[in-house]
Amino acid sequence: MTSGVSRLDALSSDEAARELLAFCGSDEWARRMAAARPFGTPARLLEAADLSWSALSAAGRLQALSRHPRIGDPGASGQPAREQSAMRDADAETARDLALANRDYEERFGRIFIVAAAGRTAAEMLALCRERLHNDAATELEIAAEEQRRITRLRLEAFVRET
């Protein structure tokens, strides 16, 4: 059986970049990752992911953030839906309050609230959203970018465990 890393290494550059977009929505990040192959090992894949994120332009980071589904989006599917599974168990009041906090966040910062949701309850995500609404724009962009990096890494770690 071929590991996921070996399969990624064997793909053409364009095919690898398309596959890598499932982990991070930045075209630039996916191209950087495709160019960093062969990875050979899961550890090298994860190292390349962090290095590629660190080297990403501001536009590349914003693209990744813009392609991430909204917390609690009922239309989310696949990995994002699994990551946000706590929202399925949220009571109506928490879900409503998080939708309102999301709206406030989008109005303030011009993008969706992003958080590494895996393992967090809906109430924790609501509290984080409310807390981050008090950040200045530059600080919040740094936090959102770090959350996206963490999400990407968690997705890649799950990928290497499952393959």
Question: pLDDT tens digits for 43-73?
Answer: 999 999 999 999 999 999 999 999 988 887 6
Q: What is the band of 79 on the pLDDT scale with cuts at 50, 70, 90?
A: low
Burial track 47-57 (b if 16+ CB lie within 10 A, e otherwise): ebbeebbeebe
Question: pLDDT tens digits for 110-127?
Answer: 999 999 988 899 999 999
Tell me which of 61, 68, 70, 149 is the catalytic residue. Answer: 68
* Cβ–Cβ under 8 Å, residues 23 and 78: no
Q: What is the band of 78 on the pLDDT scale with cuts at 50, 70, 90?
A: low
Residue 77: pLDDT over 60: no
Q: What is the band of 105 on the pLDDT scale with cuts at 50, 70, 90?
A: very high
Q: What is the band of 1 on the pLDDT scale with cuts at 50, 70, 90?
A: very low
Q: Which residues contact 56 (CB under 8 A, 6 or more apart)?
A: 26, 28, 29, 32, 64
Q: What is the band of 87 on the pLDDT scale with cuts at 50, 70, 90?
A: confident
- 134 counts as catalytic: no
Q: What is the band of 85 on the pLDDT scale with cuts at 50, 70, 90?
A: low
pLDDT value for 89: 78
Q: What are phi and psi of 79, to 5 degrees?
A: -60, -45
Question: pLDDT tens digits for 20-44?
Answer: 999 999 999 999 999 999 999 999 9
Q: What is the band of 15 on the pLDDT scale with cuts at 50, 70, 90?
A: very high
Residue 16: pLDDT over 90: yes
